Each structure stands twice: as structure tokens, then as C-alpha cells.
């Protein structure tokens, strides 16, 4: 059997400092403390993961000031040294990256026990106008030697089935998703069921690590390839350990879900049955019928948001 033994650290980032540099330093210090704690409590863990935008904080007007280069930024260098010191894989959530093109990205990295960044992932689906970062355009998968393949999403990426499906088709057996989702963004119905669905339809583990109250809503969750919740935190700052048996992914993908009958062989059936699951993409997604009655571009800044008008209002305003 091959296990990925993870520490999930659900921690919030309401630093009291108004200075961007000091805020990052305070959050980094707290991150280092948590890393030391979980390594002391459970020295057998392989990987430690944090939520979205823990280090940077969430104030949009300061995002560019909080951004730094990868791998040469000062905070990134400290994280690299920490991964080497503890000899663990480290996912320090996501933070603001200043790209080579001068754009600011919401980026997560996986740091190896040797201090290598393998790989870097930039959030693809940006929830404008809430978040003003630039989108990435790749879905990388990385194989941890002697364990298995992991893929990455960040928060809103998980709401798009194609994101997780890209990772699954590249062989990802675990999807790690740093998240920053508040209660006001749909509550539990818009968080936990999404993780469960992505796990079932891609027959893999999904681990969503959220910021707790008062920044996020907590409820970080780990889901197995058949949609079972194997661990879930509450709304407060906390941490837990999950031990993911990747042989379960291989079993479910080979034999299907739902016990002895072997139903739901999704990934195999897509290939074997020759079904038209990709019909919606063949002529270009931009030509789909659903877009004929939608307006573009969608709002990316608060001033571009317009009030929704129902049929009666539209009819009245046309006279």
C-alpha cells in the first residue's frame, strides 16, 4: 500500500499590522509555529498543507504590495529552508506572486523535502470582482516518489468540473485545494458538497483546506474516492491528520464504486463506451447554445456590476 500522510492546518490570517511586509512576517511566524507543532505531534507525516491566502491576507487594495517573486522572494526562501529543515513536503497555501510579466497571481507551490519547488500552480478561475488577480492557464500534476500523483486547485477552481477532470485525466490521485471561503459564499452547501462531487466524479481523494472564522468559514474536509468524508474540521482554528491510502483510488478506478456490484466506473466507461461526453467541446465551447442569451464580458470590477432586471422590468424600461 502507498499512503499520503497529511497534516491539514486550518488557520486564519487576520494580522493586526497595517504594514504589508510586517503582516506577512507575522503570518509566517505563526505558520512556522504550526509546522513545528504538527511535526512534533506526528513525525510520520509526509505533507503539511495550509489554506488559500494565509500568508498574504485578503485585502485586495494591498495585493500588489504583498506579492513576491517565486522562488527568490524572501518569504518563499524561508519556506524552502523550513521544508529542508523538517524534511517534509510543504504546501504553504497560496499567496500573491509577482510574475515575470509584472502581473499578480494567486499562486500555490509544493516544496519538496530537498527544498525544490515542484510544481507551481496559478489559480485559473478568478472570482471577479472579489479577487483582482490574473488567471493562470495550466493544471499541473506532480508525482511524489513512492506515494502517488497529486494535483492542485485553489478555492473557486473546485467549482468548475473541468478543472478537477483535467487533473484526473493526467493521473492525479489526490487533489489538494487551499481555500478561502466565507459563510456568506453559499455556506456549507457551497463548500462540502463540491468537494464530495469532485471526489466521486474523478474517483480520487479531495482535500480542501479552508481558513476558519473570522476570515473564512472553516469546515476543511478530506473526502475519499467514493465520496465519504474521512475528516472534517469545525469553524475554529485547528488541525488534523489524514492518512490517504492511494490504493483506494486505484481500486475504485479499476473496479468501480458502490461495493460488490462495481457500479460507477466513470473514468473507464468514458473510454470504453465511446460515449459523447465531450460533445459539448467539439465545436468550441464559445459556440455553445447557452451563451447566445448571456451578455459579455462579465463584471470584473465592482463598478461594472449591474442590477439584475426581470422580464417585467425589461419590458417596462423599453417603453
Q: What sign has the CA pseudo-torsion 242, 125, 308, 312?
A: negative
Entry field: residues in the chain: 319
SS3 113: coil
Q: Which three cell numbers stand for residue 258?
A: 458502490
Q: Which of 97, 149, 155, 204 is catalytic?
A: 155
Q: Is 68 a catalytic residue?
A: no
Largest CA distance in the chain: 72
CA distances from 203 to 5, 176, 223, 252 (A): 19, 14, 10, 6
Residue 275 is a catalytic residue: no
Q: Which position has the grid cell 468540473?
A: 161
Alpha helix segments (H runs only) across the chain? 20-41, 63-66, 74-86, 161-169, 192-202, 247-255, 266-272, 279-282, 311-317
Active site residue 280: no
Question: Do the Cβ atoms of 194 and 167 come closer than 8 Å?
Answer: no
Catalytic residue among 24, 123, 149, 265: 123
- From the list 23, 24, 52, 173, the catalytic residue is 52
Comparing C-alpha atoms, which of 110, 100, 139 is closest to residue 122?
139
> Which of 106, 86, 85 has the alpha carbon at shortest distance from 97?
106
The residues carrying an active-site annotation are: 52, 123, 155
Amino acid at each position: 500500500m502507498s499512503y499520503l500522510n497529511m497534516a491539514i492546518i486550518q488557520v486564519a490570517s487576520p494580522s493586526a499590522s497595517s504594514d504589508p511586509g510586517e503582516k506577512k512576517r507575522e503570518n509566517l511566524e505563526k505558520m512556522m509555529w504550526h509546522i513545528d507543532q504538527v511535526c512534533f505531534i506526528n513525525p510520520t507525516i509526509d505533507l503539511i498543507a495550509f489554506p488559500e491566502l494565509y500568508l498574504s491576507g485578503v485585502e485586495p487594495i494591498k495585493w500588489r504590495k504583498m506579492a513576491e517573486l517565486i522562488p527568490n522572494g524572501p518569504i518563499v526562501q524561508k519556506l524552502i529552508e523550513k521544508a529542508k529543515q523538517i524534511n517534509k513536503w510543504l504546501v504553504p497555501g497560496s499567496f500573491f506572486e509577482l510574475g515575470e510579466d509584472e502581473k499578480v497571481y494567486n499562486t500555490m507551490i509544493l516544496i519538496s523535502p530537498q527544498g525544490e519547488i515542484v510544481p507551481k500552480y496559478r489559480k485559473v478561475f478568478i472570482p471577479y470582482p472579489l479577487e483582482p488577480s490574473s488567471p493562470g492557464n495550466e493544471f499541473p500534476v506532480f508525482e511524489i516518489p513512492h506515494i502517488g500523483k497529486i494535483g492542485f486547485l485553489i478555492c473557486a477552481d473546485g467549482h468548475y468540473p473541468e478543472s478537477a477532470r483535467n487533473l484526473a485525466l493526467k493521473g492525479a490521485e489526490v487533489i489538494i485545494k487551499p481555500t478561502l471561503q466565507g459563510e456568506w459564499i453559499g455556506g456549507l452547501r457551497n463548500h462540502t458538497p463540491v468537494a464530495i462531487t469532485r471526489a466521486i466524479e474523478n474517483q480520487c481523494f479531495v482535500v480542501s483546506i479552508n481558513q476558519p472564522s473570522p476570515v473564512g468559514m472553516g469546515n476543511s474536509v478530506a473526502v475519499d474516492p467514493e465520496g465519504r468524508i474521512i475528516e472534517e474540521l469545525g469553524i475554529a482554528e485547528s488541525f488534523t491528520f489524514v492518512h490517504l491510502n492511494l490504493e483506494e483510488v486505484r481500486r475504485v478506478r479499476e473496479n468501480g464504486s458502490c461495493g460488490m456490484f462495481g457500479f460507477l466506473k466513470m473514468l473507464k466507461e468514458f473510454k470504453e463506451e465511446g460515449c459523447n461526453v465531450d460533445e459539448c467541446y467539439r465545436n468550441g465551447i464559445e459556440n455553445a447554445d447557452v451563451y447566445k442569451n448571456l451578455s459579455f464580458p462579465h463584471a470584473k470590477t465592482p463598478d461594472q456590476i449591474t442590477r439584475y432586471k426581470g422580464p417585467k422590468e425589461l419590458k417596462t424600461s423599453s417603453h
